[in-house]
Structure 1
């Protein structure tokens, strides 16, 4: 029988290089329970290889507009499989996030229109 090799642990620097995430971001994800690290004898954080996939997934979700708190509520399968499809359990969260983004866009469009009017008229228009 062949021995199965023990899983290699990555330093935070290695994890950063493999994912493109900053050291600060990785620490933040770890502190919020999105990653599982262990402490080496020197006190440094060490991460399992699966953390590469987890960090990439977290980055994708953040880029989509989700917060760390949102992501903490997602099923583990969404963090453990790179490119994982959304689960039914998070559809409501996605809809709420989309509504928030739509409100931000509407607000920015109003601000843009006011600024254009200010530039054209030379005076700040009254608040509507």
Structure 2
């Protein structure tokens, strides 16, 4: 079966099939003119590879699990790989949930501004800046000749 035929039957692009070959997930034979040909069983293999990708597995893990599929026996190593990938995905989901919760808090604050969360609401915009006011007052007092306790 030619690359276009398998791509159509498996519902993937020819580029995906070339990538699968490059990653060692799929094999083909070459004709004398260099065209790829695949066995009929390649359609099911491509669908299985797609399921692994849909499950969030990277190609390097898929490559290590496929021999178990071929032999029909799950090895302890393959099961450990799958469990590790599940733990990685769970951790990523936890991180995304935390990010979503932080965004929810920010949305709530934006919809319900309060002085606790928004510095601009703590003092009116026309209130003088404390640092500028105290130094300006000290300068004004010194300029007018008024003595303060520190100057005596």
**Normalized per residue, which structure has more helix?**
2
* Pair 26,113 (structure 1): closer, same or farther in 2 beyond 3 Å: same
Let me know the Cα RMSD of the aligned residues. Answer: 3.0
Q: In structure 1, list runs of 5 or more residues that go unmatched.
A: 1-9
Give the structure 2 partner of residue 45 of structure 1: 36
CA distance in 2, matches of 1:118, 1:43: 63
CA distance in 1, matches of 2:31, 2:106: 55
Give the structure 2 partner of residue 93 of structure 1: 84
Q: In structure 2, list runs of 5 or more residues that go unmatched.
A: 119-152
Query: Are 2:20 and 1:29 equivalent residues in the alignment?
Result: yes
Larger Cα Rg: Structure 1 or Structure 2? 2
Give the structure 2 partner of residue 70 of structure 1: 61
CA distance in 1, matches of 2:3, 2:109: 49
TM-score, scaled relative to structure 2: 0.59
Give the structure 2 partner of residue 16 of structure 1: 7
Query: Are 2:107 and 1:116 equivalent residues in the alignment?
Result: yes
Query: Which is bigger in relative contact order (C-alpha 8 A, separation at least 6)?
Result: 1
Give the structure 1 partner of residue 131 of structure 2: none
